[in-house]
Amino acid sequence: MNTNSMPATSASALRARNMHIFYGNFRAVRDINLDIPRQKITALIGPSGCGKSTVLRSFNRMNDLVPGARVEGEVLFKGRNLYSPEVDVVEVRRAVGMVFQKPNPFPKSIYDNIAFGPQINGWKGSKAELDALVEQCLLRAALWNEVKDKLKQSALGLSGGQQQRLCIARALAIEPEIILMDEPCSALDPISTLKIEELMFDLRRHYTIVIVTHNMQQAARASDHTAFFMIDADRAGTLVEYSETNQLFTNPKHRRTEEYITGRFG
């Protein structure tokens, strides 16, 4: 249905094919075809309730946790459908990490927050190697210099922006290929937001990033591709337009996209 589902770029990290998502009998998302390019930042934008978060959470099967949620169609990752019965959801979430809207560090020490992921995934290395991994993740998340002297202190003592970077570091520790970010800056101040955006640009060299954002400026300045979602007549979310970010913001093909990005609704 969507002819504009595939920007002409490098290989895709994720492909959604004819994806419908239901909550009980309610169809929340209709017929999504979307290719997420590898090692790029893809932003999902659209008005509230348009299903962009639902789509994001379908990429690591977070929707499994919602009673009654159901996905039809396919999400292809390395040629396999994430929703096929023989795929292990735990493995999916190892490969596709997630950062949430509100920083949600565990009520443990900074160190333990990072070490948690490797430990539950059968960490075999020594304590020194784990120390090194923690340091590396914190360095990558641009947090090391701020916390290196208090690794054993509770993560809840950090500021909101630091907590969110800790959550990013935590996600990096399990070495995912894709990182999903669900409005990661909506609870942060502008300076912390900027830091996260800079971090995203750094991370792009190693990871594929998909970010949901309410903030159109953020999508415009911090993403390579942008997908615009809207609610159709049945209140189901649909993908309206998907292209390179520059193109979508300067020369949108659809009238609804233009109306949205110029602030006429939403």
Positions in the binding site for another protein (CB under 8 A)? 60, 62, 65, 67, 90-91, 93-94, 97-98, 100, 102, 104-108, 116-117, 120-121, 154, 156, 167, 170-171, 173-174
Nearest distance from residue 230's CB to another protein, in Å?
26
Nearest distance from residue 119's CB to another protein, in Å?
8
Cα 38-44-45 angle, rounded to 5 deg? 155
Q: Annotate 220-259 with b (16+ C-beta within 10 A) or e (fewer).
A: bebbbbbbbbbbeeeebbbbbbbbbbeebbeebeeebbbe
Cβ-contact 171, 208 below 8 angstroms: no
Nearest distance from residue 117's CB to another protein, in Å?
4
Tell me whether residue 181 or residue 239 sits nearer to another protein (CB atom). 181
Tell me whether residue 23 or residue 106 sits nearer to another protein (CB atom). 106
Residue 129, classed as helix, strand or coil, is helix
Tell me whether residue 7 or residue 176 sits nearer to another protein (CB atom). 176
Tell me whether residue 33 or residue 113 sits nearer to another protein (CB atom). 113
Burial class (CB in 10 A: 0-12, 13-18, 19+), 94: middle
Nearest distance from residue 110's CB to another protein, in Å?
13
